[in-house]
């Protein structure tokens, strides 16, 4: 490893100022800081904490936390395909288990490739034009996008939406750390409003056609791939119970169906201190309280209002959004008290949208994007309240 490091560093001299490849310095720096711990330290006077855990490694922890949801999502894509085509009529066997996972792997992989190729291509190009380091934020964004878009979405639409989100929701604001809105959710929002026939809010992802040479098949008579939230929005009672929803073998976005996979990722984020438990918990509290109030006082004719409060927490993208989206350190509230308020309001708005506007059966995407816009205001109000309290204490003395 040491020999490779020396060769790599020697090769890197070509990218230094005056070198043959100096115009591509941003590309080399991106791979250098990704592969190795940066050797640079703060040079200004003062007290500094020297730590090798830079933002790239923080992002990698988030990616690792997303892996359980991705792997289960791949299996579920294949499982829903086998279910739709009647191949599970005789029950699940080991051969069908591997066939389901293999089918899902080949179905989801193109979305991952398109997301990273388009997003990183834009980021590398912008960094080189601006003569800056390549930002590491898209390591997570590129992983999130395939998990929150329906598997039936055409790849060219995902490419266009990703390009739009990276350019207009990130780069125009100054890049990683300056964006107001969550870039992955802007990608989904763009698809949602630009191509509504492919993104009906909570579109099922049953893939019937062939995938990279795998046999496709046709759906069996009477099969419906509608998600539970879509069923409620269309006036159809949801027959699935809590454990069905938590176990995740149901239609839904690729990474959002299995509660246990999401909680496993949440555990890693919390143990490493990458995500705020206050934000995460308050989203669930806000959603639970709002749903409970609708259970008590909502219209008996509104299925979403009478949907048990605990079912809202495991339906759609609620848990996934609470763990991986609401906790984004760039677009969420940063004050400790503000995190409680920010998270609570996300849960509240998500349930309000689900119950009061059946045209948007999911609700979580709109709730997080809305609160992204209000996060700076929440922090400002919290800071001002603390300042006023200290001024009063000072005046009293």
Model confidence over 329-340: pLDDT tens digits?
A: 899 999 999 999
Query: What tokens does 170 get?
Result: 């990130």
Q: Are residues 281 and 184 in the same domain?
A: no
**Angle, nearest 10°, between helix axes 364-396 and 336-356?**
140
CA nearest 160: which of 193, 127, 129? 193
Q: Are residues 278 and 187 in the same domain?
A: no
> Mean pLDDT, to the nearest integer, of 44-60?
61
Query: What tokens does 233 get?
Result: 């929005």
CA 167-172-178 angle, 5° bins: 110
CB 183 within 8 A of CB 137: yes
Q: Are residues 182 and 119 in the same domain?
A: yes
DSSP for 182-213, written as a single string: -HHHHHHHHHHHH-TTT--SS------S-BTT
CA atoms 113, 114, 116, 117: torsion sign:
positive
Per-residue pLDDT of 230-284, as tens digits, reads 777 777 787 888 999 999 998 888 999 999 999 999 999 999 999 999 999 999 9
Provide the number of structural domains found in the chain.
Answer: 2
Q: Which residue has the tokens 């579109």?
A: 203
Q: Are residues 269 and 163 in the same domain?
A: no
Domain boundary among 162, 189, 217: 217
Q: How many CB atoms lie within 10 A of CB 11?
A: 12
| 214 phi/psi in degrees, rounded to 5 | -75, 150
Q: Are residues 16 and 139 in the same domain?
A: yes
Q: How far is CA 98 from CA 75, 79, 257, in A?
A: 8, 10, 19
Q: Is residue 82 part of a domain?
A: yes
CB 227 within 8 A of CB 185: no
Per-residue pLDDT of 58-77, as tens digits, reads 888 999 999 999 999 999 99
Query: What tokens does 299 get?
Result: 């219209």
Per-residue pLDDT of 141-182, as tens digits, reads 999 999 998 888 889 999 999 999 999 999 888 887 889 999
DSSP type of residue 335: S
Count of all residues that appear for the chain in the document: 397
Show the beta-strand stretches assigned E in 182-306.
none
Domain boundary among 185, 217, 249: 217
Query: Which is more confidently placed, 202 or 75?
Result: 75
Q: Is residue 225 part of a domain?
A: no
Q: How many CB atoms lie within 10 A of CB 350?
A: 31
Q: Are residues 74 and 151 in the same domain?
A: yes
> Mean pLDDT, to the nearest integer, of 345-368?
90
| 211 phi/psi in degrees, rounded to 5 | -130, 110
- The three-class DSSP label of residue 214 is strand
Q: Are residues 211 and 270 in the same domain?
A: no
Q: Are residues 269 and 372 in the same domain?
A: yes
HSE (CB half, 13 Å, CA atoms) of 201? 21
Q: How far is CA 236 from CA 17, 89, 180, 204, 233, in A?
A: 65, 24, 37, 15, 7
Q: Is residue 336 part of a domain?
A: yes
Q: Are residues 182 and 288 in the same domain?
A: no
pLDDT at 92 (0 to 100): 84
Per-residue pLDDT of 73-112, as tens digits, reads 999 999 988 888 888 877 888 899 999 999 999 999 999 9
Query: What tokens does 288 get?
Result: 């639970």
> Mean pLDDT, to the nearest integer, of 28-46?
58
Task: State the pTM of this model.
Answer: 0.85
Q: Are residues 161 and 294 in the same domain?
A: no
> Which residue range forms the structural domain that includes residue 326?
259-397
Q: Is residue 249 part of a domain?
A: no
Q: Are residues 283 and 180 in the same domain?
A: no
**DSSP helix, strand, coil percent of the chain (3-state; round to 5):** 65, 0, 35
Q: Is residue 240 part of a domain?
A: no
Residues 6+ apart with CB under 8 A from 214: 102, 103, 106
Per-residue pLDDT of 219-233, as tens digits, reads 555 555 677 777 777
CB 130 within 8 A of CB 235: no
Q: Is residue 232 part of a domain?
A: no
Q: Is residue 316 part of a domain?
A: yes
Query: What tokens does 306 get?
Result: 């009478």
Domain boundary among 217, 245, 276: 217
Max Cα-Cα span within the chain: 79
pLDDT at 16 (0 to 100): 65
Chain centre to alpha carbon of residue 196: 20
Q: Are residues 213 and 283 in the same domain?
A: no
Q: What is the mean pLDDT of the chain?
A: 83
Residues 6+ apart with CB under 8 A from 104: 73, 74, 75, 76, 77, 78, 79, 81
pLDDT at 215 (0 to 100): 57
Q: Is residue 172 part of a domain?
A: yes
């Amino acid at each position: 490893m040491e020999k490779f490091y020396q060769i790599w560093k020697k090769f890197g001299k070509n990218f230094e100022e005056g070198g043959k490849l100096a115009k591509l310095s941003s590309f080399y720096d991106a791979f250098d800081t990704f592969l190795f711990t940066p050797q640079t330290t703060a040079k200004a006077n003062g007290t500094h904490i020297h730590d090798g855990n830079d933002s790239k490694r923080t992002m990698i922890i988030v990616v690792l936390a997303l892996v359980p949801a991705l792997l289960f999502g791949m299996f579920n894509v294949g499982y829903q395909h086998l279910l739709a085509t009647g191949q599970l009529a005789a029950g699940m066997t080991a051969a069908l288990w591997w066939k389901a996972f293999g089918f899902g792997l080949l179905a989801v992989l193109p979305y991952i490739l398109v997301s990273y190729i388009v997003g990183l291509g834009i980021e590398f190009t912008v960094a080189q034009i601006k003569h800056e380091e390549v930002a590491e934020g898209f390591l997570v964004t590129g992983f999130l996008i395939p998990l929150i878009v329906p598997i039936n979405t055409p790849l060219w639409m995902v490419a266009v939406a990703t390009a739009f989100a990276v350019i207009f929701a990130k780069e125009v604001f100054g890049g990683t750390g300056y964006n107001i809105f969550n870039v992955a959710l802007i990608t989904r929002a763009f698809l949602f409003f630009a191509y509504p026939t492919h993104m009906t809010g909570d579109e099922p992802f049953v893939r019937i056609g062939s995938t990279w040479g795998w046999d496709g098949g046709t759906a069996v008579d009477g099969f419906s791939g509608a998600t539970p939230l879509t069923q409620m929005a269309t006036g159809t009672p949801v027959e699935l119970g809590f454990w069905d929803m938590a176990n995740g073998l149901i239609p839904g976005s690729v990474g959002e169906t299995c509660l246990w996979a999401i909680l496993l990722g949440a555990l890693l984020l919390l143990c490493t201190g990458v995500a705020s438990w206050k934000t995460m918990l308050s989203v669930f509290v806000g959603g639970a309280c709002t749903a409970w109030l609708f259970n008590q006082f909502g219209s008996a004719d509104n299925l979403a209002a009478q949907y048990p409060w605990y079912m809202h927490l495991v339906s759609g993208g609620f848990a996934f959004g609470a763990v991986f989206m609401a906790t984004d350190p760039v677009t969420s509230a940063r004050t400790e008290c503000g995190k409680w308020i920010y998270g609570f309001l996300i849960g509240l708005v998500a349930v309000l949208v689900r119950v009061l506007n059946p045209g948007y059966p999911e609700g979580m995407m709109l709730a997080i994007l809305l609160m992204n816009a209000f996060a700076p205001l929440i922090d400002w109000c919290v800071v001002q309240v603390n300042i006023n309290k200290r001024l009063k204490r000072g005046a009293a003395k």
